[in-house]
Amino acid sequence: MKQKKYIYAGIVAAAAIAAVLIITQFGTTTTVNTGTGPSDLSPYLLDYTYETVNSDLRDTLKGQGINMSKPLTFQTPSEINQYCNFLSNKTKQAMIVRCTSTEIKDENSQFLGNLNMVGAPIAPVLVVATAQTDPMFGNYKDIKLLFGDVINETVCHCWAKEKPGGYGTISAMMDALRDFHLKGKKPNSTTQGVPLEGKHFEIELTTNPQGYLWKLLVAK
């Protein structure tokens, strides 16, 4: 497991963690059935449905020139394992019984990223947005719009009031993470889990052969 760096309310270095640190609360004491379903996901469910987020986010992005496809839904264990295997802890991953996935493109129909949600039949426990940018950050503006809209729809419309970490905008936090990552020597940089309105989110930035992969995680 590679070491990561952290930025939030001041930039610091930290020890290695799993990519899903943001949901360490999830499944720590819950009993899991031996089959494919969870015994009780209710303490970890986010307060919205897959359908609501996918619909509202699609409308919001469309108004900004970003296109989001209709969601694909995966519900069998084999499908979830192949397309929605986001949790490094196998016990927690086994509790997932539904996943939706959408493709996101910019106004020129160029691929921008994906939005995935996993959890129980009605509501998710984890939202994952990913986006790829080239080495020159050519589509960075669209990525910031995407992540800002995802946070607004899945966390709250409260950033301007709360200003997590002292950042006046989501864009400012992402800029700080980008600058920190570019100055460092590690392939991965991330924010700490940021608490906001009863949820947590985390933004990760990873260097890859295509440029830089951005990842946004949202959980309770």
Task: State residue 144's pLDDT score.
Answer: 97
Tell me the HSE value of 74 on the side-chain side, using a 13 A CA sphere: 18
Tokens of 83: 């397309």
Q: Is the pLDDT of residue 43 over 90?
A: no
C-beta neighbour count of 83 within 10 angstroms = 14
Pick the closest to residue 38 from 154, 115, 129, 118 (CA basis): 118
Task: State residue 187's pLDDT score.
Answer: 94
Beta bridge partners of 105: 67, 111
Task: State residue 71's pLDDT score.
Answer: 96
pLDDT single digits (tens) 118-144: 999 999 999 999 999 999 999 999 999
Give yes or no for a contact between 92 and 84, defined as CB atoms under 8 angstroms apart: no
Task: State residue 28's pLDDT score.
Answer: 33
pLDDT single digits (tens) 61-95: 999 999 999 999 999 999 999 999 988 888 888 88
Give yes or no for a contact between 220 and 37, defined as CB atoms under 8 angstroms apart: no
Across 2-11, 178-187, 196-205, least confident range: 2-11
pLDDT single digits (tens) 8-20: 433 222 222 223 3
Task: State residue 88's pLDDT score.
Answer: 81
Calpha distance 112→68 (Å, rounded):
10
